[in-house]
Structure 1
């Protein structure tokens, strides 16, 4: 392997590691970069439409730009309620005994995360939308209720 090729591989590896490390941590309340999903073109189209439909407020918290600027991510409040559109189907959906909830006509799978946060992901839609709730909003379906109309208008049922 040539020296040039080694340098390129090392550089690409370093960038990948740094990108993976720059994932939003809702437990810290920091507004670090959020991992942006990489959906196919069809799903990205649904996500773009969702981005335009998202409310300016969720449970009274104002929407704000996150360090990661993309039509695939949005945030409200601090610590932020974070929405990512175009994520992969969560593994928890393979478990017939997994927790789930239907809020205003949108189904969500529920995963409790370290630090008391929750990750909720839409079910039975043509694109998966993930909402991460900081610990202080655990058990509050208000954010999901505020997002339901935008999801229903933008992302068809599968």
Structure 2
């Protein structure tokens, strides 16, 4: 029997197997959502930590699956992920009198429709700005469906007022 022939086949198979394992590992990691973590002052960080503790496990029927890097200032639900970021900067659009705004269950929101059909909502008249990005897949009519489930935790954790 010629063992050298089998050895070459086996050695050729190992690099291919290693490549397949690497590609598979990378593709599953690509499914994880990511979000830039805001860097607010200590007062706002405390409010955001309180919000993180009050956030629901589900919004609009989607399970919570926080984005990377993990932080008490970010949260996510579903895939593609609805992303919440607490402690973001005040959006420039809040100065525009013609900006689309509204209220959902006692929480005011600036509503910004993106070119891809997604929405970015930013809370208004609260001591910390909370941004919620809703991918176009989850947008229903005006995109505010997920905000209903977030209203109670935001009202509980982020007092009314003007963010610094």
TM-score by length of 2: 0.76
Residue 149 of structure 1 deviates from its aligned partner by: 0.2
Give the RMSD, CA atoms, in angstroms: 1.3
Counterpart mapping for 1:54-73 below 5 A: 54-73=55-74
- SS class of match (1:115): coil
Give a deviation string over 1:122-143, Cα, whole Å, max 9, x none.
0000000000000022223220
Corresponding residue of 2:8: none
User: Which 4+ runs in 1 deviate beyond 4 A?
Assistant: none
Aligned equivalents of 2:115, 2:98: Cα separation in 1: 20
Tell me, in whole angstroms, the C-alpha distance in 2 between the residues paired with 1:33 and 1:79.
11
Query: What's the offset of the Cα at 1:106?
Result: 0.1
1:76-124 CA distance string (max 9 Å, x none): 0000000000000111100011001100000000111231111000000
Corresponding residue for residue 85 of structure 1: 86
Q: Matches of 2:110 and 2:58 in 1, distance apart?
A: 23
- 1:152 is aligned to 155
Helix, strand or coil at the partner of 1:47: helix
Q: How does 1:25-104 map to 2 (within 5 A)?
A: 30-104=31-105
Tell me the secondary structure at the aligned position of residue 48 of structure 1: helix
CA–CA separation in structure 2 for the residues paired with 1:33 and 1:62: 16
Using the alignment, how far apart are the partners of 1:59 and 1:87 within structure 2?
Answer: 23
Q: Secondary structure at the match of 1:121?
A: strand
How many Å apart are 1:150 and its aligned residue? 0.3
C-alpha offsets along residues 46-76 of structure 1, whole Å, 9 cap, x if unaligned? 0000000000000110001322100000000
Q: Distance in 2 between matches of 1:38 and 1:157?
A: 21
Matched pairs, number: 130
